[in-house]
């Protein structure tokens, strides 16, 4: 009895310490690597050099005609790219999620590729097409708004297809069948029945795509050059070219407002379009019919022309220099003296990118999992529920903030004691991790939230502590999503350019930064090396996702295999209960 009495406080203290760590580590990380840099950046716009409140910076920046021209360019290009992305995603979402046909899996895999490609790779690929001498060089699109818009659509096509398809595949088809039975033609059924039911997904897709378009820093920098500017590239120019940190801070605040308004409008549209409707998870794709051929063609043409052709041409160009077939562009990646514009060989920058991405991935997964575990608990009090909702919203803030803003904030906030990371290896990985954490949380949280809490209660009754219950009950469920989240974090960090462009130094350049410096030079050697390095970066990012998806699918098949009564068929929990 005395032993039980002595053991009871420890049984209460250990879980309490665990929850303090689970909550405290992410909050401290967010405070240091997001709230402090972003708050410092915002403060630069409101405070003068003497430390007093001074709003003259806003008046100075917002009265410049160039500022409003750049803001308008950012908004209208993002809007047009969003409309085009959503429009061409609709037929693909139907074909790839509601019908079945040979090579459907291959086509879905191709459509998913742009999501994991680094922005500099896409920029280099399309620039090789639009530049003079390229297949579409006669159109004179190099450096224009429309070249950038095409690149934006390439990036966000997969976002639209996946967002719309994931909802479309769960819509109960009986409403459409009833309308057709009453004599409505297919086009009328789509516009009067299907499209209104898809409005929540349309609004979500549009909001996210607009956010991605408005923050396409690397894409605009490479495809737009000096002729086309957006808010992000202007921030970069003011910071690195003119050293005008005050004006850059004001523009960063303007960008935050624009992004917040876009996300708010998307949320309003999503709520306005949300209706009570039957959702199903047992729907099987039906065989494709002749009536689906227009949608199939509307899917195949963008996939071939918009996705496959640019990447194929990038590979082909990387194997040529001065019109001749050669591997010189690839061998030059190993030569530190191949060009005077880089201090290290490109392969050194590649290995540095892998190291940084690995650290960023581990950090993002650790913090992201802690956040997911905490926000998926089910407290009984209103205060507890509100606190977890606030924590969840707090860690979604980086999703609505540009990577350029994060990098700029690091540059001006973490440069003096007690937190001076200017010469630290961890400066870039922490910035990349901050960008990747919301993605990990969004991947892991839905899986944890879907687990029946009674399973944890059974484990607790059988004597398992909170940590053991978490590992044995929830661990197997979350393993696949955690693996995918880690792969996304690694791929995103590997190709991250926005924040890294502010933080990389000549001796610490990453592969995306090296590619940008090479593609900015006119020499045939530099251009060829940029193409080869882009292929290398695309291969690394795509391979990680392909391997992880294959392993995850293999695990899911094994876990779905039927089990039969007999020895070894019971779970460890069941065996212990017996």
- What pLDDT score does 184 carry? 76
- What pLDDT score does 139 carry? 83
Q: What are phi and psi of 281, to 5 degrees?
A: -120, 5
Residue 328 within a domain: no
What average pLDDT is seen over the chain?
A: 78
Same domain for 13 and 87, yes or no, is: no
Same domain for 385 and 407, yes or no, is: yes
Same domain for 497 and 354, yes or no, is: yes
pLDDT digits (tens, 9 = 90+) for 194-226: 777 777 778 878 888 888 888 888 888 888 876
Over 50: is that where the pLDDT of 466 sits? yes
Residue with tokens 């920046």: 61
% of the chain exceeding 70 in pLDDT: 78
Residue 108 within a domain: yes
Same domain for 26 and 102, yes or no, is: no
Same domain for 187 and 71, yes or no, is: yes
Contact 250/57 with Cβ under 8 angstroms? yes
* Residue 447 CB neighbour total at 10 angstroms: 18
How confident is the model over 293-321, as a mean pLDDT? 89
For residue 109, the domain's CATH number is: 1.10.3720.10
pLDDT digits (tens, 9 = 90+) for 396-407: 777 667 777 788
Same domain for 510 and 395, yes or no, is: yes
Same domain for 25 and 132, yes or no, is: no
> Where does 274-308 have alpha helices with state H?
293-302
d(CA 96, CA 19): 43
Domain finish residue from 251, 283, 318 = 318
* Residue scoring higher pLDDT (234 or 11): 234
> Residue 569: which pLDDT band, with cuts at 50, 70 and 90?
very low
Residue 415 within a domain: yes
In 3-state terms, what secondary structure has residue 179? helix
% of the chain exceeding 90 in pLDDT: 10
Contact 114/122 with Cβ under 8 angstroms? yes
* Residue scoring higher pLDDT (360 or 279): 360
- What pLDDT score does 551 carry? 57
- What pLDDT score does 575 carry? 39
Same domain for 1 and 135, yes or no, is: no
Would you say how long the chain is, in residues? Answer: 578
Residue 52 within a domain: no
Name the residue range of residue 237's domain: 57-275+291-318
Name the pairing type of β-strands 415-416 and 419-420.
antiparallel
d(CA 374, CA 378): 9
pLDDT digits (tens, 9 = 90+) for 357-398: 999 999 999 888 888 877 777 666 777 777 777 777 777 777
pLDDT digits (tens, 9 = 90+) for 248-272: 888 888 887 877 777 777 666 666 5
Q: Which of 47-56, 123-132, 166-175, 395-404 has the highest mean pLDDT?
A: 123-132
- What pLDDT score does 132 carry? 81
Residue 388 within a domain: yes
- What pLDDT score does 316 carry? 92
Q: Which residue, 332, 337, 336, 353, is CA-closest to 508?
A: 353
CA dihedral 251→114→82→247, nearest 10 degrees, is 0
Q: Which residue, 204, 205, 224, 269, is CA-closest to 74?
A: 224
Residue 324 within a domain: no
Q: How many domains is the chain built from?
A: 2
Same domain for 347 and 465, yes or no, is: yes
pLDDT digits (tens, 9 = 90+) for 345-361: 889 999 999 999 999 99
* Residue scoring higher pLDDT (302 or 15): 302
- What pLDDT score does 574 carry? 39
pLDDT digits (tens, 9 = 90+) for 131-160: 888 888 888 888 888 989 999 999 888 888
Same domain for 35 and 180, yes or no, is: no
Same domain for 307 and 371, yes or no, is: no
- What pLDDT score does 362 carry? 92
Over 50: is that where the pLDDT of 419 sits? yes
Residue 576 within a domain: yes
Residue 301 within a domain: yes
d(CA 39, CA 24): 20
Question: 145-168 and 119-130 are packed helices; what angle lies between their axes, rounded to 10 degrees?
Answer: 130
> Residue 7: which pLDDT band, with cuts at 50, 70 and 90?
very low
Over 50: is that where the pLDDT of 121 sits? yes
Over 50: is that where the pLDDT of 563 sits? no
Same domain for 151 and 264, yes or no, is: yes
> Residue 275: which pLDDT band, with cuts at 50, 70 and 90?
low
């Amino acid at each position: 009895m005395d032993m039980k009495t002595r053991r009871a406080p420890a049984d209460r203290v250990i879980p309490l310490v665990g929850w303090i760590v689970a909550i405290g580590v992410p909050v401290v990380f967010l405070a240091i690597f997001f709230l402090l840099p972003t708050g410092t950046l915002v403060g630069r716009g409101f405070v003068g050099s003497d430390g007093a409140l001074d709003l003259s910076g806003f008046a100075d920046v917002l009265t410049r005609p160039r500022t409003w021209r750049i803001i308008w360019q950012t908004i209208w290009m993002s809007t047009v790219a969003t409309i085009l992305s959503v429009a061409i995603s609709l037929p693909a979402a139907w074909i790839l999620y509601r019908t079945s046909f040979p090579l459907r899996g291959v086509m879905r895999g191709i459509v998913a590729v742009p999501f994991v490609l680094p922005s500099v790779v896409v920029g280099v690929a399309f620039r090789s097409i639009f530049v003079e001498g390229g297949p579409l060089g006669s159109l004179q699109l190099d450096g224009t708004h429309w070249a950038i818009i095409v690149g934006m659509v390439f990036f966000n096509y997969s976002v639209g297809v996946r967002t719309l398809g994931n909802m479309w595949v769960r819509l109960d088809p009986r409403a459409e069948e009833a309308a057709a039975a009453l004599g409505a033609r297919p086009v009328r059924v789509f516009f009067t029945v299907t499209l209104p039911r898809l409005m929540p997904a349309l609004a979500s897709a549009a909001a996210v795509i607009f956010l991605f378009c408005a923050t396409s820093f690397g894409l605009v920098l490479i495809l737009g050059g000096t002729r086309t500017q957006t808010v992000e590239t202007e921030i970069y120019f003011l910071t690195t070219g003119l050293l005008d940190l005050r004006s850059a801070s004001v523009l960063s605040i303007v960008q935050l407002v624009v992004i917040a308004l876009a996300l708010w409008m998307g949320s309003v549209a999503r709520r306005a379009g949300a209706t009570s409707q039957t959702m199903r998870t047992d729907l099987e794709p039906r065989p494709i019919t002749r009536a689906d051929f227009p949608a199939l063609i509307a899917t195949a043409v963008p996939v071939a022309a918009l996705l496959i052709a640019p990447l194929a041409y990038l590979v082909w160009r990387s194997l040529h220099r001065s019109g001749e077939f050669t591997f010189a562009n690839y061998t030059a990646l190993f030569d530190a003296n191949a060009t005077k514009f880089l201090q290290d060989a490109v392969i050194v920058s590649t290995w540095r990118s892998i190291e940084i991405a690995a650290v960023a991935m581990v950090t993002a997964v650790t913090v992201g999992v802690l956040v997911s575990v905490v926000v998926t608990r089910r407290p009984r009090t209103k205060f507890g529920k509100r606190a977890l909702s606030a924590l969840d919203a707090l860690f979604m803030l980086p999703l609505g903030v540009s990577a350029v803003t994060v990098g700029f904030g690091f540059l001006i906030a973490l440069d003096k004691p007690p937190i001076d990371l200017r010469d630290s290896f961890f400066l870039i990985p922490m910035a990349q991790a901050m960008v990747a954490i919301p993605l990990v949380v969004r991947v892991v949280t839905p899986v944890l939230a879907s687990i029946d809490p009674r399973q944890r209660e059974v484990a607790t009754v059988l004597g398992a502590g909170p940590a053991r219950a978490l590992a044995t009950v929830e661990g197997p469920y979350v393993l696949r999503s955690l693996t995918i989240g880690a792969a996304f974090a690694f791929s995103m960090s590997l190709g991250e350019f926005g924040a890294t462009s502010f933080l990389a130094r000549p001796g610490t350049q990453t592969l995306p930064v090296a590619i940008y410096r090479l593609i900015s030079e006119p020499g045939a050697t530099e251009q060829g090396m940029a193409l080869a390095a882009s292929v290398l970066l695309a291969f690394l990012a795509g391979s990680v996702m392909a391997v992880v998806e294959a392993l995850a699918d293999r695990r899911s098949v094994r876990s779905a295999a039927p089990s039969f009564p007999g020895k070894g068929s019971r779970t460890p929990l069941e065996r212990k209960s017996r």
